[in-house]
Structure 1
Amino acid sequence: MAVFLFFMICYGILGSYIALHYRIIFDSRIPWDAYFSFDNKSILMTGGSFERHPLSYYFFNWVREFSLFVSGGKMDANFRLTLAWLSNLIITLNIVQVFKYLKNIIDLPLWLNVIIILFFGAFSTNIILSFTPENFTYTLFLLSLYNHYAAIKLREEEKTPAAALSLAGITIGGLTITNFVKVFIPLLFEKDLFRSWKKFGNAAFRVIVSVICFVLLYLNRIDFKYQNIFSKTNQQYEKFSNVESMPTWDMILSFFFGGNILFPGFIMSDKHNMKGFNFKGLYMDLYSSPFPYLFIALLLILISWSYIKNFKNKWVQVIAISFLVDIMIHCVMRFGLHTSYIYGGHFVFVYPLLLGWLFFAYRSSPKIMAFLTFTLVILFTYLLVNNIFRMTEFFWFMENYYQ
C-alpha cells in the first residue's frame, strides 16, 4: 500500500499538472508523434494498427468512452486528466507487481526492495507512460503482472491453466502481437515437462487452446481478411526498419538499452497532420557524453552478471528469454530500432527483476552485497538527477508549443 500510494502521488502530481496546463496528452488535431513517437490520439480513437495491435481497438473503446463519461462528453482538460490518471494507476500497479515479485518470489529484505523499486520507478519509460494513454502503458502492467503470476505457478510447481493462458494471450498479445509468444515461455520450465509425454501433451493442448482463441478473435476483428495481415506487416517492417542515418551500435545503446531508462537529450522536428495543421514533435537523441554510456554499460554488466550467476534458475531463464524476444525484434531485425526507446513497455521490468536475482545470489556474501548496493545507489542517484533535468526540458517544450 505504501508503494502504491507513493507512486500514485508522485506520478499523479506530474500527470495532473501536464493534463490541466498543456494539451500534449490529447490534441484532436495531432494523431501521432507529438512526443517520442507515441500515437496518443490514434491509439485512443482506433486502438492502433490491427497488424501490430490486433485487439486493442476494443480495449481503447472502453478507455475513451469512460474518459468521455467523466468529462461530460468533451475532449477537454478533464478528458486529458482522466486519461492521465488511468495511465498513472496502471503504471503504479506495474511497479507494485514488480515490488511483489521482489518480495514474494525472490524474498529480498524490505530495504533492498525499496531501493530497487525506487530505481525502477525513476526509469524514463515509467515516467512518460505514467501520463501517456498508449498500448505500451497497459502492456507493461500486463507483462509484469503475468510474470509475477507465472513465477508463483512455477514456485508452487503448478500448471498454468488453459483459461489463464488464453486470457493472457488475448490481453497481452491483443495489445501488441509480438508479446504473444512471451505468454508461453514459463510453460517451458514446468516440472518434468520434457520427461513425460502426458505432461508435454497437456502443455501443448493448453497452448493450442489459447492460440485458437486468439486467432479467432483476431480474424473476427479484420472480418477474416487474413491477407491484409501479411501485406500490412511487410509495409510496417519496411517503414520502421530502414534507417541509415545513425550507427546501429549507437541506436542499440542509446535507444534500446538506454532511452527507456535514462533520458538522452531531445531534438525537435516540424510535423504536420496531413490536413494542414503544423506542430512540433519531440524525439530522443543519441547520448552525447560518456557518462550515459558508462551508466548503461554498468547496468548491462549487472544484469549479465545476474544471468550468468543464476543460469540454472528457471525464473531467471523465463525473464531472460522474454527479453531475448525483444532483442531479436529490435536489435537483430532492426524493427523500430531508431525509436526503440518507446518499446520499453515491453521489457523494462526485466531490469529490476534481474537485479533482484543478482542480490539474491550473493545474499550470504556481505562484501559483495555492500558493493552491489553501493553501485545501485550511485546508479540511482545519477538516473534521478538526469531524468529530472531532462523532464525540465520536456516542460520547456510543452510551455512553448502545447499550452
Structure 2
Amino acid sequence: MSFIKIKIINFLKLVFPSTYAELAVFLFFITCYGALGSYIALNYRIIFDNRIPWDAYFSFDNKSILMTGGSFERHPLSYYFFNWIREFCLFISNGKMDTTFRLTLAWLSNIIITLNIVQIFKYLKYIIKLPLWLNILIILFFGVFSTNIILSFTPENFTYTLFLLSLYNYYAAIKLKKEQKTPAAALTLATITIGGLTITNLIKVFIPLAFEKGIFRDWKKFGNAAIRVAIAIICYTLLYLNRIDFKYQNIFSKTNQQYEKFSNVESMAGWDMILSFFFGGNILFPGFIISDKHNMKGFSFKALYMDLYSSLFSYIFIAILVVLISWSYLKNFNNKWVQTIALSFFVDLLIHCFMRFGLHTSYIYGGHFIFIYPLLIGWLFYAYRTSPKTIIFLTSVVCILFVYLLANNWYRMSEFFWFLETYYQ
C-alpha cells in the first residue's frame, strides 16, 4: 500500500467513525441534530435571510459570514472557506437562496457538530480510556450544551472552529501518547484552518508542541519544533497578507476598532457576565431578551439575545461545573494532556474575562472552548478510577447536572421556537 494511500486512510479513520460504537454515536446525534436543523430550515427563515446580515439570534452573523467570511482582522482566511460552502449550497439549490439552500446549510452544520461529538467520544475512549458507559454519559451531557444545539443548525465560523479544535486536540493527544512530534505539514494545515477561521485560536495550535518529549532538554528537538512553527507561521502569514493585498496597516487599525467596540460594556456587572455568559450561556441557556434591530438599509427585524441568569439554580449549576473542571485540573496537574487543554482554555479566559473582549456576548464564543469541559470531566474520572466511592459520587453529580441541563435547555428551546413562530415564519 502506498504511503499516500495509508495517510488518507488514517486521516479518514481519524475524522470519521471507525468502529460500531463510534458509528452509533454518530447516527444518534445526527438524527437528533438533523431533525432539529431540518425542521427549522423547512419552516423558518432564520438560518439565512438575505435581509438580515447579523444578530438575528444570539449575535451570530449567518448571512454576513456566509457571504464574506466575516471581518478579515478576526477571520483572516474564512472568506475562501465560506465561498466554497456558499457555492456548494447554491449548487444543491440550483442557484436559489431558498428552503433547499437553508436545508443544505443546516445539514452541513449538523454533520460538523456531530463529528465534533465523535471526536470527544474518541478522546474519552482512546486517550483517557474510560469505560463505555461513562463515555456515553459524558457525551450525552456534552451533546445538550447550548452551543452544540445552536451551532448544529447555524452556518458560522464557530461551527467549524469547534470541530477543528476538537479534532486537532484529539490528534495532538495521539501524538503525545505515542511520543511522536506533530509533523510540519499537519501543523501548517492546523494553523491555516484553525487560525484562518479565527485568529485568536492561532496560539492554541502550538500549545501541544510544548509537551513533546524532551523538547526543552534537547536543542535538536527544540530547533526542529522551532522550524515547524516557523514554516506554519510563514505559510499562514503569506496567505493572510495575500487576502488583504499586503495592506498590513489595515490589520492594526481594524483590530483596534473591533476591540473598542466589543470591550466597553458597562451596563452589566463583570462577574455576572463571566458566570452567565462565558461559563454559562454556552452550556446552560439563560433567559432571552428580544431587541429591535435594522440592517442599515431600511429593513427592521427582531433579534434575540441571552440575558443574565435569574435563577439561583443556574448559578449553582455553573458553580458546580467550574468546581469539577478546576478539581480535575488540580488533580491532574502533572498530566501533559490536561495541561494542553487547560492552556488552550486559558487563552479564552485571558481574551474574554481579563481583556473583556466580547464579554457581554461571550456565550457565542463557546465554539472556541466548550470541548474542554467533557475532556476535563473525563480526566477527573480517570484520576479516581481506583476509588469506587468517588466514581459513584462523580457519576451522581454528572447525572444530576445532565438532567437539569436537559430540562432547562429543552424549555429554553421552546421559547426559541416561540420567537421563530412569531417573527420568522
The answer to whether structure 1 residue 41 and structure 2 residue 87 are counterparts is: no
| 2:88 aligned with 1:66 | yes
Q: Does residue 220 of structure 2 align to residue 198 of structure 1? A: yes
Mapped partners of 1:307, 1:207: distance in 2: 27
Q: Which runs of 5+ in 2 are unaligned?
A: 1-22
Aligned to 1:99: 121
Encode CA deviations 1:251-304: one digit per residue, 9 max, x unaligned: 000000000000000000000000000000000000001000000000000000
Pick the aligned partner of 1:12 from 23, 34, 46: 34
In 2, distance between residues paired with 1:79 and 1:9? 20
Report the secondary structure of 1:195's partner residue.
coil
2:174 pairs with 1:152: yes
Per-residue CA distance 1:7-31 (angstroms, 9 max, x = gap) = 0000000000000000000000000
Distance 1:212 1:292 in 2: 45
In the other structure, the counterpart of 2:200 is 178
SS at match of 2:58: coil
Q: CA deviation at 1:143?
A: 0.1
Shift of 1:305: 0.4
Partner Cα distance (1:394, 1:401) in 2: 11
Q: 2:10 matched to which residue of 1?
A: none
Structure 1 equivalent of residue 264 of structure 2: 242
Counterpart residue number, 2:306: 284
**Partner of residue 348, structure 2:** 326
Aligned match of 1:373: 395
Give the TM-score normalised by structure 1.
Answer: 1.00
The reply to whether residue 166 of structure 1 matches residue 188 of structure 2 is: yes
Using the size of structure 2 for normalisation, the TM-score is 0.95
SS of corresponding position for 1:334: coil
Look up the equivalent residue of 2:102 and give its one-letter code. Answer: R
1:260 aligns with 2:282: yes
Q: Deviation per CA, 1:311-357, whole angstroms, max 9, x where unpaired?
A: 00000000000000000000000000000000000000000000000
The CA distance in 2 between the partners of 1:299 and 1:111, in whole Å, is: 20
Secondary structure in 1 matching 2:166:
helix
Q: Figure out how many residues of one structure are paired with residues of the other and give that number.
A: 403
Secondary structure of 2:267's counterpart equals: coil
1:66 maps to a residue whose letter is F
Shift >4 Å, 4+ stretches: none
Residue 101 of structure 2: which of 79, 102, 114 is its match? 79
The residue that corresponds to 1:275 in the other structure is 297
Match of 2:422 in 1: 400
Give distance in 2, aligned partners of 1:82 and 1:388: 24
Partner Cα distance (2:235, 2:195) in 1:
11
Following superposition, the deviation at residue 381 of structure 1 comes to 0.2
Q: Which residue of 2 aligns with 1:220?
A: 242
Shift of residue 358, structure 1, vs aligned partner: 0.1
**3-state SS of 1:160 partner:** coil
Query: Counterpart of 2:409?
Result: 387
User: For 2:293, what is the secondary structure of its paired residue?
Assistant: strand
Q: How far apart are residue 82 of structure 1 and its match?
A: 0.2
**1:360 and 2:382 aligned:** yes
Cα distance between partner residues in 2 of 1:45 and 1:376:
41
Q: Deviations over 1:47-90 (max 9, x none)?
A: 00000000000000000000001111100000000000000000
Q: Which amino acid aligns with 2:185?
A: A
> In the alignment, residue 282 of structure 2 is paired with which amino acid?
N
CA distance in 2, matches of 1:135, 1:123: 18
Measure the CA separation in 1 of the matches of 2:330 and 2:52: 46
Q: Distance in 2 between matches of 1:259 and 1:37?
A: 13
Superposed, which structure 2 residues align to 1:136-147 within 5 Å?
136-147=158-169
Separation (CA, whole Å) in 2 of partners of 1:78 and 1:209: 41
Aligned-CA RMSD value: 0.3
Aligned AA for 1:261? I
Instruction: State the one-letter code of the partner of 1:96.
Output: V
For the residues of structure 1 that align with 2:183 and 2:245, how far apart are their CA atoms? 29
Alpha-carbon distance between aligned partners in 2 of 1:231 and 1:184, rounded to the nearest angstrom: 26
* 1:344 and 2:366 correspond: yes
